[in-house]
Chain A
Amino acid sequence: MFRDSVIIMRKEMRRMFTDRRLLFMLVVLPLVMLPLMYSFMGKANKTRMAEINSYSSRITVCQGQGGGEVSDLFLESLSMLNAHIETSDLEQIDSLKQRVIDKDIELLIVMPGDMNGDILDNTVLNFSIFYNSTGDYSNYAFDQVRSSFSAVNDAIVRLRILEMGMSEDMLKAYTINKFLAADEISDLAEEGSVMGKLIGVMMPFFIVIYLFANSMKVGLDSVAGEKERGTLAMLLVNQVSRLSIVLGKMISVMVAAIVGAVSSAIGLKIASRYLIDMVGDSGASISEYTMGTTAILQFSIIVIPLAILISSLVLVVSTFARNVKEGQGMIMPVYIAVMVMGVTTMQTGDVPPEWMRMAPVFNSLVVLKDIFMQNALWSNVIFSLATSLVVSALLIFVTLRMFNDERVLFRI
């Protein structure tokens, strides 16, 4: 029986690894997709940041009567920014607001009148700052102005405290990491685990996507496609058992799936250098991230059964469908569901809700994440393995039933 499965599988393999177009889709695409995407996004991100940094914002300031020294203090802080500062008067306010809307200027700052007097009375100054959240430059200018002004605020408050004869330490109840020794590092994450976290968050998503995409490419064709082309009957009239056929097909779909997953994992590893550019995490370094033998073992224990599960899922649909097109239509909702699972796993924190550890597919994804962060529990690994295998067995049973049902196999 297994001998026949192997014969069937070998033909499908030969097809997979000699057909250049198929090989490109199954191996090359998942490998280069992520590095290309990330290097592109990383570059775009960098140039965008550079652009924003070198951009000189247009800021208009309106001021009431009698600004005085305090007002100069604020204006001076603005002049330190990379910005064109214009002044105008309050009557213009409506047309100035319109200019903000039109993105003709980035910010409109309205300063209160008698600022000196207010400060002496200990009255809180009220600035109005109008910006346009749809403009990147406007958001950026707003942030900059806010931090400049807050520096002025700090200076004024410090003066007041000193005038009252108190220490400026009154302003601070604590500091963080100010008195670390020179050789002391505050981020105690193990070497490589920062990268592990980055990869761990992304990896399950991409692995499941390519497991699925490759299963679909090979799996839909291997039954629905053969039905459509009339090649399946040729196989069925030979002395091969239906179980051998189903297993042979399943194994070849699974191999395609694993090839995709491994390619995309390598792709993500390559891509991670660009990923660091994007997140700008200085603590992360790719060269430091390596998977230990335990992690690789656990990874295989999760990914192989997950590949079996996903290939069986695709095979059920492929067997039920009349043709490839119908199969694609039927598998789409499943694909989207799996994608959503991938995204959800990406967004759950370090401690996923308990049900995620119970649900098939989900639990494998969650454990994969643990594995990359190097904190997977063997009990969780084994449980995920078991659920994947049980569900796969169920799906293979259903496929086998359909293979023995002429109404399914010969729906034309």
Chain B
Amino acid sequence: MLRVENLSKEFHSGRGKNAKTVQAVKNLSFQCKPGEIYGLLGPNGAGKTTTLRCLSTLIKPTSGNAWIDQFNVLDHGQMFRSKIGFLTSDMKLDGYFSPDYMMNWFGRLNKMQDSEIEQRKEKLFVDLKMTDFIHKKIDELSSGMKQKTAVAISLIHDPDVIIFDEPTNGLDIVTSKSVTDFLVSRAESGKIVILSTHNMTIAEKLCDRFGILVEGELKEEGTLSGIIQGSDWDNLEDVFFSYIMPDSTVGGEHV
């Protein structure tokens, strides 16, 4: 069980006269159950990455907190991190080494036994169709292969909660499908998956529940049918647009 409670994040930049405060996330609360894929939707700058980074403990929330079971981000950083697999598009891998080496390395850092690492690697390499390139230098891989490697590494320790920021960005449909299929299989085995995306098609297919984030605020939350029923629109994309551009009638017709 993952609980996010009244999470807020402010960024301060500049000094003196130029000082600026950005309210990136405002009082955000949501929950996810095991087996659930939760989609965080929102336009650029909505605060998706910021929210997920708070969940990764990379940055500290200005106020509020997030819990996995009895552990929270503020007090149990290291324990909390052991429960999550986290990946954003600006996280990269050391290109000098091979996927295999990096998997071993991160496995050991996550306090796994070598035998455990071997088993886990075997499963991930097959599931993500990586076997062809596990011994190549990461620098020499295509961006799709790199992304698969990053996904595999972030999940080496088999975390309960998978938090991915735009995991399919820049991937072709085949690679994208192998990543999303993998995420579905993870959820089916009882993990919590949280992902952010702007891609409505993927979101509709993949996610069990959605939160629509605009300017740091959660404007809408629910299942696909729940959200559509409660709105004037007949698809997720139009609901999404109605929040970003309330005055426009872009997209579908009124029902």
Contacts and interface: CB of A to CB of B under 8 A. Distances in A.
Contacts of A15: 96-97
A11 interface: yes
B58 A233 contact: yes
Q: How large is the interface on A (under 10, 10 to 19, 20 to 34, 35 or more residues)?
A: 20 to 34
A250 interface: no
Contacts of B157: 238-239
Given A15-B96, A19-B96, A239-B111, A406 B60 contact: yes
Nearest to A18: B96
Given A233-B88, A233-B90, A234-B93, A7 B108 contact: yes
Contacts of A226: 94
A4 B112 CA distance: 12
A234 B106 CA distance: 9
Contacts of B92: 229-231, 234
Contact of B110 (A236, A238, A241): A238
Nearest to A8: B109
A54 to B, nearest CB: 56
Given A7-B108, A11-B105, A234 B91 contact: yes
A235 B88 CA distance: 13
B106 A238 contact: yes
Contact of B93 (A19, A231, A240): A231
Given A230-B90, A231-B92, A410-B59, A237 B109 contact: no
Contact of B58 (A231, A240, A406): A406
A401 to B, nearest CB: 14
Contacts of A240: 78, 109
Interface in A243-273: none
Contacts of B109: 4, 7-8, 235, 238-240
Given A19-B96, A230-B92, A406-B60, A237 B86 contact: yes
Contacts of B227: none
B168 interface: no
A241 B79 CA distance: 10
A66 to B, nearest CB: 88
B195 interface: no
A9 B86 CA distance: 23
Contacts of B86: 237
Contact of A239 (B59, B81, B90, B94): B81
B58 A239 contact: no
Interface string B87-129: 0101111101100000001101111000000000000000000
B29 interface: no
Nearest to B84: A237
Nearest to A11: B105
Contacts of B91: 230-231, 233-234, 237
Contacts of A231: 91-94
Contacts of B214: none
B56 interface: yes
A14 to B, nearest CB: 8
A234 B59 contact: no
B81 A237 contact: yes
A406 B88 CA distance: 16
Residue of A4, A233, A240 with highest tally of chain B CB at under 10 A: A233
B157 to A, nearest CB: 8
Contacts of B108: 7
A238 B84 CA distance: 9
22 contacts: A11-B97, A19-B96, A229-B92, A229-B94, A230-B91, A230-B92, A231-B94, A233-B91, A234-B91, A237-B81, A237-B86, A238-B110, A238-B157, A239-B79, A239-B82, A239-B109, A239-B111, A239-B157, A241-B78, A406-B58, A406-B60, A410-B59
Interface of B: 56-60, 78-79, 81-82, 84, 86, 88, 90-94, 96-97, 105-106, 108-111, 150, 153-154, 157
Please provide the 10 A-B residue pairs with the shortest distance between their CB atoms, ordered closest to farther. Answer: A230-B92, A239-B82, A237-B86, A406-B59, A233-B91, A234-B91, A239-B81, A237-B56, A7-B108, A230-B90
